[in-house]
Chains A and B, each alone.
Chain A
């Protein structure tokens, strides 16, 4: 039984000197990567090697099972075809949740991280999230190398031709005619299912620029229900670093106080050189060029029928939807330390090439910018996720799991989060163990999966903190306390488990200390309180009360006071306890609140009568008609449903 993952041992010993450690590990047989000499029979086969597929393969192969990962020959594993960053608001929490479950993303992001930021730093602990700009090359190379070191994981570089099910087996035929069998399949096909690329009037089949298209999902799995509407996503043009005038841009430096993602890494050690990103803005000239070319925009001239993400709009969307606004942020993000490409975040577009060139050059600092790869939009098929269970298994086809963008989500983190759940559950099911199901009340992954499986999405799904009812609790700092029980269910006793257990022990020790310590109103203490600006000490107060005082930073106070007591705690333990204490009362109240909302949410509604109602807007009726919500909660979670509609329906429920 191989329970201990080799990387972890070395990872810890090497104390995050990752570059070295990767060299220590012999890279497995090249032929395996090429797909010859392959094993024909797997316990679990993952189709697709993006963030969802890589994560699924990584976790599944930590069990004592034979796992295969089949991926397109010309797409690298866990690559970042869009923005070069991991994390973000709400998403940083997901990366840490994946990490706590034993996932891959945090480890790789730490190796490849070239700029760290804590987003929302000034807005309170609960909504702070980590975002790391990554070197795209380093990211995918290290992901591939880590995956290829796993003994019971076989990587196959071939295109899948067909998937068939016989009894409890799936048979996969590749384009080269090879036949592979698997007991469980995790399909993570991203945007490649019936994908179509758009740049201006040009349309080509495919899921990503310079990658071959894969066959339609409907052909692969005839029985699978896809959503009637295809989804659309887009990416901005990539600019030549040498042609950008950085002196005109506002730099954003890497933050040395932002913590690494992987919990076993020393929190502030960086593995790569740190660089800056830059900020610039669009102006009226930029927007007028875009507005003048409305007819040539595939999104607005009817060429693209798919629905794009409202929460990640293209520059065309911004131009036509917010006609009064000409100034939009553009973040200038290097795609790597040695890469010549710059990712201008905020100007995703599918306009014709010459229009892209002219609007880009109106932006300050980009006056002479040369486009290396033009922006494009992609339309693709999406699985009807209401047919999935919370394990990501397709209910009517046991053994078949879906994860990632094919489920209608956008974002690497969302994909990875589903991947680890699908991969782990495929393995747990084979081993006859209880499924791994995350609750929406203690994880963003749980929020996302429940949102997906209880709804037919009608636009790409992105996570953000407002999706969680329990935002004050689902934080980055308490990821281990939140996730420990789930990791434990996997029964993979590893260094990670030891670390988590130790972490929790320390947390509970510190909590006891906080609970039992009092500050007495002595003259000496009063003077000390004044010195530290802790506020008055007219009566005795508990340590807890001190931490809760609104003007104190609880982390600083807890750190200082434990040191003063002569007890050293890990700073991460201090953070968890300090912030949890600070929010205690609010969290309790939020729990009561969400229980109440749950009660309302369970009330049945008649969607048919809503569609006939005169009091509901046409747009909302369309959404209600496609999604057919049966309860108030489902109606509430329909994206784009107007508040007035909600209020109207709510007012009519008894």
Chain B
């Protein structure tokens, strides 16, 4: 209990205080007696029906401040497990402030800190830690995925699964204890079977949770689409094409994009952060060097990576640097320039990994079509020698499906983007970092345990080894929640929640 130890009644506007709105909701929590608030309302509070709305004037010193609705939630039926009053008032910011001041100055309320209502709900055991985490995710979601999982967690879906993991672990523990303390009663064979069965059950649940925690999910939480390419490759053009706004500075002078520029784009219910990186190249310009360094940093955590190569201005050092990166799309730009095919055939792309390749004319926003003798998409003749070009390289037909890769660029990118997102989220990945870490550690410990157990003939030690699991399981279901976990969660909350 590190913050807000008092149980002073609190008040806040839960619908935001940045602009004027039609309606604002003001929440009051933690007052002991509803009737004590009578001086501030025209409606007779003793007639209040819990969880029904009543029309009332809000009164200060016999002067009417506002006219609105009040709803009373008694403590056994409220969000915080305290008495809660919600006022729907006119959403003018001055009006809101006047009402807040009224309760703070004369009724003994204190302005709530961000997340304090939820904190009280947690403190009063109305919500569990993971529910709070779910709420955090829900409130700060920037994708349908996060909204859905946030709500799932809030409603206890994941928690139930963790409990069943914990439950299955306790059965493993019990099997060991039975073997130690009751093998006379149960019999040696039976207790061995008990252990094997319970362990494989535990293992199965853990494996399925682990499958949902694998991979770089932070890229799903706030998915970034990164454009990489040398200066003048056409990143900014593609960026603008995708954003349909002219935010990035488009210029023919190399190196004008100093650091990186971002813009949110919305595709199929998900917000993506589109990032235009600095040209990755050696440069004497200090500022630009920082930009290049950051470009690599961004690359590592990006969800979707697009590489743009200008066949006329690409040096092989540059391509070498990118050899470890798996790109989702490789555009070879400037296809509208005359010597494009010739320049393209001179490129050495043997170190580049890309799942999809197309030529592109960024100036007019289109890709292909190009003569089959020269081009590409999948393992087409001229490129098959360039090594790993994604998953199609072995089984795909040798004939390129050119019609598929012709047309405007933007829908193509969006298509690829959203199908990758769907593929990665189809197993409903666990998004909360704390949970993922616990699950991954548990998984590693389990593998370690399986390796060890064959060499251990001392069941007391086996039992002792098993205890390691319980620590992480406890963390997973929120038994052990260091205060810093709480702090970091509540940091994200808005006022009035």
Contacts and interface: CB of A to CB of B under 8 A. Distances in A.
Interface of A: 89-90, 119-120, 122-127, 311, 328-329, 331, 346, 464-466, 471-472, 550, 583, 586, 589-590, 593, 596, 600, 606, 609, 643-644, 646-648, 650-654
A643 B183 CA distance: 22
Interface stretch (B47-55, B123-131, B328-336, B416-424): B123-131
Contact of B467 (A590, A609, A650, A651): A590
Contacts of B184: 119, 329, 331
Q: Is the interface of A mostly helix, strand, loop or mixed?
A: helix
Contacts of A120: 180, 183, 459
Q: Taking each of B130, B177, B456, which has the highest tally of chain A beta carbons within 10 Å of its own beta carbon?
A: B177
B167 A651 contact: no
Q: Taking each of A119, A125, A651, which has the highest tally of chain B beta carbons within 10 Å of its own beta carbon?
A: A651
A123 B180 contact: yes
B187 interface: yes
A593 B467 contact: yes
Contact of A472 (B185, B464, B477): B464
Contacts of A648: 163
B262 to A, nearest CB: 37
B284 interface: no
A447 B464 CA distance: 18
A600 B170 contact: no
B481 interface: yes
Given A123-B460, A124-B460, A127-B459, A650 B180 contact: no
B460 A651 contact: no
A652 B81 CA distance: 14
Nearest to A124: B458
Contacts of A90: 181
B179 interface: yes
B217 to A, nearest CB: 23
Q: Taking each of B130, B179, B184, B481, which has the highest tally of chain A beta carbons within 10 Å of its own beta carbon?
A: B184
A465 B481 contact: no
Nearest to A120: B180
Interface string B125-151: 100111000000000000000000000
A315 to B, nearest CB: 12
A651 B163 contact: yes
B486 interface: yes
B95 interface: no
Q: Taking each of A90, A465, A650, which has the highest tally of chain B beta carbons within 10 Å of its own beta carbon?
A: A650
Contacts of B463: 471
Interface in B451-476: 455-461, 463-464, 467, 471, 474
Given A127-B460, A650-B474, 16 more contacts: A120-B459, A123-B179, A123-B459, A126-B460, A127-B459, A471-B463, A590-B467, A593-B467, A593-B471, A596-B480, A609-B125, A643-B167, A651-B479, A652-B478, A654-B1, A654-B129
B461 to A, nearest CB: 6
Contacts of B117: none
Nearest to B181: A464
B41 interface: no
A552 to B, nearest CB: 12
Interface residues of B, number: 41
A590 B465 CA distance: 9
Q: Taking each of A119, A122, A124, which has the highest tally of chain B beta carbons within 10 Å of its own beta carbon?
A: A124
A596 B477 CA distance: 16
Contact of B464 (A89, A586, A643): A586
Contacts of A646: 170
Nearest to A281: B187
B461 A651 contact: no
A652 B128 CA distance: 5
Closest 6 CB pairs of A and B: A124-B458, A126-B460, A464-B181, A650-B479, A643-B170, A466-B177
A89 B463 CA distance: 16
A600 B479 contact: yes
Contacts of A89: 180-181
A471 B460 contact: yes
Nearest to A590: B464
A593 B466 CA distance: 12
Interface in B95-132: 122-123, 125, 128-130
Given A329-B187, A466-B181, A600-B480, A651 B128 contact: yes
Nearest to A345: B184
A125 B125 contact: no
Contacts of B480: 596, 600
Q: Is the interface of B mostly helix, strand, loop or mixed?
A: helix
B157 to A, nearest CB: 14
B202 interface: no
A590 B466 CA distance: 11
Contacts of B195: none
Nearest to B127: A652
B458 A126 contact: yes
Contacts of B40: none
Contacts of A652: 125, 128, 478
A651 B125 contact: no
Contacts of B477: 647, 650-651
Given A89-B181, A466-B181, A609-B125, A472 B460 contact: yes
22 contacts: A89-B181, A124-B457, A124-B460, A125-B460, A126-B460, A127-B460, A464-B182, A465-B181, A465-B460, A466-B180, A471-B463, A472-B461, A583-B461, A590-B467, A596-B480, A606-B125, A609-B125, A644-B167, A650-B477, A651-B130, A651-B479, A654-B481
A125 B458 contact: yes
B235 interface: no
Contacts of A124: 457-461
Contacts of A596: 471, 480
A92 to B, nearest CB: 12
A606 B123 CA distance: 12
A647 B167 contact: yes
Q: Taking each of B455, B463, B479, which has the highest tally of chain A beta carbons within 10 Å of its own beta carbon?
A: B479
A550 B455 contact: yes
Contact of A589 (B170, B181, B187, B464): B464
Interface string B160-198: 001100110011000001011111110100000000000
B123 A654 contact: yes
B166 A643 contact: yes
Q: Taking each of B187, B457, B464, which has the highest tally of chain A beta carbons within 10 Å of its own beta carbon?
A: B464
B210 interface: no
Contact of B180 (A125, A465, A593, A643): A465
B436 interface: no
B159 interface: yes
Contacts of A600: 474, 479-480
Contacts of B486: 654
B165 to A, nearest CB: 9
Nearest to B188: A122
B181 A586 contact: no
Nearest to A475: B460
A647 B460 contact: no
Nearest to A609: B125
Contacts of B166: 643, 647
A651 B159 CA distance: 9
Q: Taking each of B122, B455, B461, B477, which has the highest tally of chain A beta carbons within 10 Å of its own beta carbon?
A: B461
A474 B455 CA distance: 24
A120 B163 CA distance: 32
Nearest to A325: B190
A550 B481 CA distance: 36
A133 to B, nearest CB: 13
B176 to A, nearest CB: 9
B135 to A, nearest CB: 15
Contacts of B129: 651, 654
Contacts of B171: 643
Given A643-B167, A647-B163, A586 B474 contact: no
Contacts of A651: 128-130, 159, 162-163, 477-479
A650 B459 CA distance: 27
A329 B184 CA distance: 8
A609 B486 CA distance: 23
